[in-house]
Amino acid sequence: MDDFIGRKGLVESARLKALSRPSNMRGLTHLAGHLAVILGTGTALYFAWGSWWGVPVFVLHGLALNYLYAAQHECSHWTAFETRRLNDFVGAACGFLVFWPHQHDQAYHFTHHRHTQDPARDPEIMGEEGGSLTRGGFLLSLTGLPYWLRRAKNLVRVARGDTSEEPYLTARQRPAVVAEARWTLLGYALIAGVSVALGTWAAAIYWVGPVLLTKWTHQPQNLIEHTGMPHEGDTVTMTRTVRTNRVLRFLLWNMPYHMAHHTYPGVPFWRLPELHAEMAARLPMRPVTAGYLEFIARMAQSLPRRAETPQPAE
């Protein structure tokens, strides 16, 4: 993934090499900040539980937990930290917490970068976009319900040894991904068993519930990156940059700078603002940008109510 460049010539090779150096200190500091937010919202949820204040605090806690996927994503590129094993460990831990096993996600994401917006090869959109993308389907996707149903089904299927829906996995990756799914399910079962034995709802209240019930806070970022963008061209024209605030950029590990990331995926998250600015200065036109609410409104207005049915040739 690190050697893939979406468009050459926008950044000089020496500058790109300098931008592409990961840092353990930067990564650990950012991770500590993210975990501090989770600790803070979790503590607030403890004190607010049972009152109406518990509702917004529950949502904020779930948002912070769901956004751990941004850390996992950065680790998939081995750019969160300089030490490779640290990337693998943190990525695996985050993957367990957000119910998306890390090795599987890494292979899936590698393919997404290699075949961005290709309906036949990009696993993020295979069978989900093209003529089948409708207004109702888009709005339903925003809730996170289809995401969780798909994630649960795939995790169980892969744990059974069935990787028929993952053509992007190599022969070497398949057994590792299957084993990972099995260990993941075993881990969840152990936590559930211990919770029942101890008569505690802590895991459900402070982890599982918030992650599952607030996926809708994370879906706008997942969908805004490529939905509705061209299926031809390169990463500059097929990827959106998101206009948002500093807090969300922090929790998303700068993934709103998504065009810059997709074009040069070997650049660590903390250098993406610089990279984006330098790329924007050299591009002949402004990068495609949108805010979350603007994107949702635009898609809801422009998408068809029903999937278009191909007309038979005369």
Task: Flag whether 265 is in a domain.
Answer: yes
Q: For residue 213, is pLDDT > 80?
A: yes
Give residue 110's Cα distance to chain centre. 13
pLDDT at 128: 55
For 98-113, write each residue's pLDDT tens digit. 999 999 999 999 999 9
pLDDT band at 126 (very low <50, low <70, confident <90, very high): low
**Is 254 within a domain?**
yes
Contact 81, 100 (CB under 8 A): no
- Average pLDDT value for residue range 6-21: 90
In this structure, is residue 156 part of a structural domain? no
How far is residue 39 from each of residues 2, 156, 209, 249, measured CA to CA in Å?
32, 30, 16, 19
The pLDDT of residue 296 is: 96
- Cα–Cα nearest to 93, from 66, 62, 72: 72
312 lies in a domain? no
Q: What is the rounded average pLDDT of the residues 16-43?
A: 98
Domain that holds residue 65: 13-147+200-302
Query: What is the C-alpha separation between 278 and 300, in angstroms, rounded?
Result: 33
- Residue 57, in any domain of the structure: yes
The model's pLDDT over 221-255, given as tens digits with 9 standing for 90+, comes to 999 999 999 988 899 999 999 999 999 999 999 99
Residue 157 located in a structural domain: no
pLDDT digits (tens, 9 = 90+) for 164-179: 999 999 999 999 999 9
Chain centre distance of CA 169: 19
Burial letters 188-209, b for 16+ CB under 10 A, else e: eeebeeeeeeeeeeeeebbbbb
Contacts of 149 (CB under 8 A, 6+ apart): none
pLDDT band at 130 (very low <50, low <70, confident <90, very high): very low
Residues 20-33 have a mean pLDDT of 98
For residue 308, the model assigns a pLDDT of 61
Instruction: Evaluate whether residue 186 is within a structural domain.
Output: no
Does position 289 have pLDDT exceeding 70, yes or no? yes
In order, the DSSP letters of 194-230 are: HHHHHT--HHIIIIIHHHHHTGGGTHHHHHHTTTTS-
Supply the pLDDT for residue 131: 39
Query: Does 240 fall in a domain?
Result: yes
**Long-range CB contacts (within 8 A, 24+) of 145-154:** 147/215, 147/219, 147/222, 148/99, 148/212, 148/215, 151/99, 151/100, 152/99
The pLDDT of residue 120 is above 80: yes
| Number of domains into which the chain is organized | 1
**15 Cβ partners below 8 Å, 6+ apart?**
278
CB atoms within 10 A of CB 217: 19
Computed over every residue of the chain, the mean pLDDT equals 93
With a pLDDT cut of 70, the percent of the chain lying above it is 94
Q: How is residue 296 written in tokens? A: 């949702």
